[in-house]
Structure 1
Amino acid sequence: MACVILLKFLLLLALEATLQSHHLGPTSHLRYSRFLDPSSVLFLRWDFDLDAEVIVFELQVRTAGWVGVGITNRYTTVGGDLVVGGVLPDGNVYFSDQHLLDEDTLVEDGSQDAELLGLTEDAAYTTMRFSRPFRSCDPHDQDITSDTMRVLAAYGLDDTLKLRREQTFVKSIFLLQIFHPDDLEFPADTMIHDLEITDFLIPEVDTTYACTFLPLPIVSEKHHIFKFEPKLLEHNETMVHHILVYACGNASALPTGISECYGFDPAFSLCSQIIVGWAVGGLSYQFPDEVGISIGTPLDPQWIRLEIHYSNFHNLPGVYDSSGIRLYYTAQLREYDMGVLQLGVLTFPIHFLPPGAESFMSYGLCKTEKFEEMNGAPVADMKVVNYLLHTHLAGRALKAVQYRSGRQLRTICKDDAYDFNLQEIRDLPHLVEIKPGDELLIECNYQTLDRDSMTFGGTSTLNEMCLVFLFYYPRNNISSCLGYPDITHVVQELGEEAAVSPMENLMVMDNVEWTPENIKIAEKACKEAQQTVMLKTIDELIENTTGWIPDIIPTLRGPCSESTGGKVEPQDQTPAGFRAAAGALSSSNTAALRSMPLAALLLLQGTLPWLLAVLQTAV
């Protein structure tokens, strides 16, 4: 009898697990959404299953014609994939996985890798929902990755499948967000504090870094900041490049007023530990439930430096701005205090890019072996939850790689399709643990084909940066860990006579004839040169060490998903092989089966009822 009761209990558990499994079906809630066009005609919702590697799109368009959504690359829509569908006047639906043969011609793929989940048309909208694998075996389908995705969307006013430029849009989106859906809840006691520059007259120059020092919320006990969002004046949005909030060590003597951050008064560049930041294209951000930025204790900063980078390329006169950052904070404490570690290439004075480069790599090394000494107390393992990538206009890709005991451990984060106009904090799918003694390497890839003179590291948008910000817990006092190469070695490898100072050596390189061969020599020399690693704390303590750039072992692509219909293009039969679809089951259904407990699988296969009957007979 006990066996029967136990098995019935397992049966209930199986049913419960089946009901609770996350299935992205025809009516399931989709967590993420964006408008894809300036006029808010095309509205995209989406969601994904990381384990099954399946994404669901729902496109809603104000039209009675066809609609389409897919992925394209950075430079052209030609070759981009587009899943299209619509409802004919007689009520019949059409749906197809296609690609762009040229800028206005669609051709159906040989392999149909999208699965229709719903297609409706009413008096106002045509709405199409479908699923597709992250990576199909069709070379006409663009992979869905954690990189910046260029989402291609289009529609027609009738059911004639022809692209028109005025009805075709491309928008950069991070499709594989993790913890940041659109409908996160706030604690009941949420309070708001604004950090802003008021009525600032933007100078009539290309680049201005305006800084001021402001107090954080005054609270009598510990609170956590759990969300922030930009405060932007609508007509000034195109002029605000980034907004950063730096925590000040409480021993700092801070100036008053507003001034150029990196101008004649060095006091306005005090405070270097970033706590929150926004950059062009970003939205609001709410931290994961377990972490927050601590305020209100003796160890927490009381003041911050607010830095706003303005890009007034048209030299417009008389423009006043009151931008800033809005903080949301609560007395309902999270489990951990968050910190931010800045990594990458030291911006001044060594960073350089030659002109005319199809690709040029820069490297910044961080060695954590002195973290504990500089922190003034033991440093716990740093658990990274989020990251922010940052270059200027020449940046094409970034990655952060972790090494331990001389061995590459993992790529912490990367973006091989970086878009300057979309810079947001992104979430990691899994916690990354950094231990004292680990090495961290930042690699930035640039393209300067449109430039005929050297590009140097600097604050202007036309200068360059190579930075990665890691958001981690528990917080320590290290604010940045930046590397730069021995520039003398680079000059000598180029066959030039080295000067005494780094700045003079940069001037020497400015006179180099930058042929493709010399570009590669300089890139190789930067990687092979000894790196100086500069560490800084929240209290502006600085210490240097040295190291060498390790090799980066590339990450292999996973297997593609073979479609259940159509053909697989033979040229994509890579050594990684296929992950074949299971019969008539959708890939999301297959994932649900893989994640079910044994009891649920037995139930579906008819084994558990048979086993119960046998045991009852035996009893």
Structure 2
Amino acid sequence: MDLTVGYISLCVVFGIVSVITQDVDHKVYNLTIRMPNVISPRPDALVCHGIKLDPEETYVVSYIPHASADVAHHMMVFGCILPASHEPSWLCNENHEDFETEVCGKGEKQVVFAWALDAPSFQFPDGVGLRLSGTTGVNYIVIQLHYKHIFPPGRTDNSGVTLQMTRERQPKQAGFYVIGTHGYIPPKQRAFTMETACKYENEYPIYPIGYRTHSHNLGVVTSGYRIRDGTWIEIGRMSPQLPETFYNVTNHVEVRPGDVLAARCTMNSVKRTHNTHIGPTNADEMCNFYVLYYTYWKPNLQAQFCFRNAQDFHWNDYFENIPDTASSLVGIKGVDKVRKMFDLHPPLAPSSRLWHDTM
């Protein structure tokens, strides 16, 4: 998006300066939120910083990340009614047994953006925007950085994100549907699958336009599908070891009430000697498939979640016609890096139950 800056203002929040630039002609403005020169006090530190939004209804139309994979495992951008703290920054999700807390101080946190592995900027299609402020309950933006290492004395960080926004109501509202698993990955597994699926039960249809995969060190490939009347259509398939941006969907489909959304993460734990549990630290794992969609539904949206226990839930118990490519790297650009990382040369023999010679 070509922006010609009309004016610049400074918004002081929690004692921190956030930069807002306005494009008068196109009615688009930039809200840049950066960490206030924070430190990482330990490996795997999760640090948050919040900013209060203008109360008028707005729509995010583009995201520009300002972060490096050398510094952070990932960055999450959440919407909150209230932040968990009004300090300039705070350690959030410190309680690893309950890592859904300490980002927002009231109500559920809403997904606004997610970034990892030097993913590039992302722009919604024309006429699509993520609604914030107004009556949405998203009164604050909180950015959360998951830092890799403890910082040496004197080092600080100001990573963050620029949200390109407009106050013009968009005809199509964007939302997130997050599919994932609980559970653990046993050690010495070359292709352990974690599977999940839920029936879509909202009264309105959605139209996926992007997807993002997220795992830590064991994730080889993650795939997502819409299932209708026994027919599987791929929404997306990507290795979480590649830049974790929102990629264009493989197929443009409608998801309507009664359809099923499903995802599989294929994990390689050959180098591990113990169970690796789903959790927030880099030594743990995650199995997430984010569906970014638009809908013509006018009321406010909430992020939706579908999580299953990987030890108890298996596609074979519920579905037929499972795609042979669900654990395949075929067709994914940049997979030589992934194959080298997991020593996948040569691929598994055709007799393998999960990975085929097409991988």
Distance 1:285 1:191 in 2: 16
CA contact (8 A) 2:181 2:194 kept: yes
Corresponding residue to 2:218 among 374, 394, 418: 394
Alpha-carbon distance change, 485 to 362 in structure 1, aligned in 2, over 3 angstroms? closer
Alpha-carbon distance change, 194 to 263 in structure 1, aligned in 2, over 3 angstroms? same
Distance 1:305 1:450 in 2: 36
Superimposed CA distance per residue, residues 509-553 of structure 1 (whole angstroms, 9 cap, x where no aligned partner): xxxxxxxxxxxxxxxxx5279xxxxxxxxxxxxxxxxxx543452
Alpha-carbon distance change, 528 to 273 in structure 1, aligned in 2, over 3 angstroms? same
Alpha-carbon distance change, 213 to 549 in structure 1, aligned in 2, over 3 angstroms? farther
Superimposed CA distance per residue, residues 45-93 of structure 1 (whole angstroms, 9 cap, x where no aligned partner): xxxxxxxxxxxxxxxxxxxxxxxxxxxxxxxxxxxxxxxxxxxxxxxxx
Corresponding residue to 2:269 among 441, 448, 454: 448
Pairing 1:527–2:314 present: yes
- The root-mean-square deviation of aligned C-alpha atoms, in Å, is 2.9
Match of 2:119 in 1: 282
Alpha-carbon distance change, 436 to 421 in structure 1, aligned in 2, over 3 angstroms? same
Corresponding residue to 2:26 among 181, 188, 194: 188
Q: Secondary structure at the match of 1:397?
A: strand
Q: Mapping of 1:364-379 within 5 angstroms?
A: 364-369=196-201, 372=202, 379=203
Q: Which letter does structure 2 place at the counterpart of 1:439? A: V
Distance 1:303 1:414 in 2: 32
Corresponding residue to 1:408 among 218, 231, 241: 231
Distance 2:307 2:224 in 1: 13
Distance 1:186 1:439 in 2: 43
CA contact (8 A) 1:200 1:321 kept: yes
Distance 2:153 2:224 in 1: 41
CA contact (8 A) 1:401 1:408 kept: no
Corresponding residue to 2:176 among 340, 344, 354: 340
Q: Tell me the CA shift for residue 197 of structure 1.
A: 1.9
Q: Secondary structure at the match of 2:314?
A: helix
Corresponding residue to 1:553 among 308, 322, 345: 322
Q: Secondary structure at the match of 1:214?
A: strand
Match of 1:484 in 2: 309
Q: Mapping of 1:122-141 within 5 angstroms?
A: none
Distance 1:528 1:432 in 2: 21
Q: Tell me the CA shift for residue 224 of structure 1.
A: 2.1
Q: Secondary structure at the match of 1:476?
A: coil
Q: Secondary structure at the match of 1:198?
A: coil
**Structure 2: which 5+ residue stretches go unaligned?**
1-22, 329-359
Superimposed CA distance per residue, residues 288-330 of structure 1 (whole angstroms, 9 cap, x where no aligned partner): 1121112343235212332111111x76444211111111112
CA contact (8 A) 1:243 1:325 kept: no
CA contact (8 A) 2:74 2:117 kept: yes
Corresponding residue to 1:260 among 91, 106, 118: 91
Q: Tell me the CA shift for residue 191 of structure 1.
A: 1.0
Pairing 1:327–2:198 present: no
Q: Tell me the CA shift for residue 409 of structure 1.
A: 3.4
Q: Tell me the CA shift for residue 432 of structure 1.
A: 2.0
Match of 1:223 in 2: 58
Q: Which letter does structure 1 place at the counterpart of 2:148? A: S
Match of 1:383 in 2: 207
**Structure 1: which 5+ residue stretches go unaligned?**
1-184, 373-378, 488-525, 530-547, 558-619
Q: Tell me the CA shift for residue 446 of structure 1.
A: 1.0
Distance 2:178 2:260 in 1: 14
Alpha-carbon distance change, 528 to 387 in structure 1, aligned in 2, over 3 angstroms? closer
Q: Secondary structure at the match of 2:70?
A: helix
CA contact (8 A) 1:187 1:332 kept: no
Pairing 1:311–2:148 present: yes
User: Counting helix residues as a fraction of each chain, which structure ranks higher?
Assistant: 1
Q: Which protein has greater RCO, CA pairs closer than 8 Å, 6+ apart?
A: 2
Superimposed CA distance per residue, residues 414-437 of structure 1 (whole angstroms, 9 cap, x where no aligned partner): 12xx15241111112553211122
Q: Which letter does structure 2 place at the counterpart of 1:336? A: K
Alpha-carbon distance change, 254 to 201 in structure 1, aligned in 2, over 3 angstroms? closer
Alpha-carbon distance change, 486 to 355 in structure 1, aligned in 2, over 3 angstroms? closer
CA contact (8 A) 2:84 2:103 kept: no
Superimposed CA distance per residue, residues 200-225 of structure 1 (whole angstroms, 9 cap, x where no aligned partner): 1111x321111233223x154x4321
Distance 1:457 1:187 in 2: 47
Q: Tell me the CA shift for residue 247 of structure 1.
A: 1.9
Q: Tell me the CA shift for residue 343 of structure 1.
A: 0.8
Q: Name whichever of 423-432 and 322-331 sits farther off.
A: 423-432
Distance 1:186 1:384 in 2: 31
Distance 2:321 2:142 in 1: 36
CA contact (8 A) 1:240 1:311 kept: yes
Q: Which letter does structure 1 place at the counterpart of 2:204? A: A
Match of 1:358 in 2: 190
Distance 1:202 1:471 in 2: 31
Alpha-carbon distance change, 431 to 335 in structure 1, aligned in 2, over 3 angstroms? farther
Q: TM-score under structure 2 normalisation?
A: 0.73
Alpha-carbon distance change, 329 to 317 in structure 1, aligned in 2, over 3 angstroms? same
Match of 1:41 in 2: none
CA contact (8 A) 2:213 2:240 kept: no
Q: Tell me the CA shift for residue 480 of structure 1.
A: 1.5
Match of 2:45 in 1: 208
Pairing 1:294–2:294 present: no
Alpha-carbon distance change, 286 to 262 in structure 1, aligned in 2, over 3 angstroms? same
Distance 1:549 1:363 in 2: 11
CA contact (8 A) 2:215 2:240 kept: no
Q: Tell me the CA shift for residue 332 of structure 1.
A: 4.2
Pairing 1:438–2:273 present: no
Distance 1:187 1:549 in 2: 53
Superimposed CA distance per residue, residues 142-190 of structure 1 (whole angstroms, 9 cap, x where no aligned partner): xxxxxxxxxxxxxxxxxxxxxxxxxxxxxxxxxxxxxxxxxxx997332
Superimposed CA distance per residue, residues 384-423 of structure 1 (whole angstroms, 9 cap, x where no aligned partner): 1111111111111111122235x133121112xx152411
Q: Secondary structure at the match of 1:431?
A: coil
Q: Secondary structure at the match of 1:207?
A: coil
Structure exhibiting the larger radius of gyration computed from Cα positions = 1
Distance 1:409 1:359 in 2: 22
Distance 1:359 1:330 in 2: 45
Q: TM-score under structure 1 normalisation?
A: 0.44
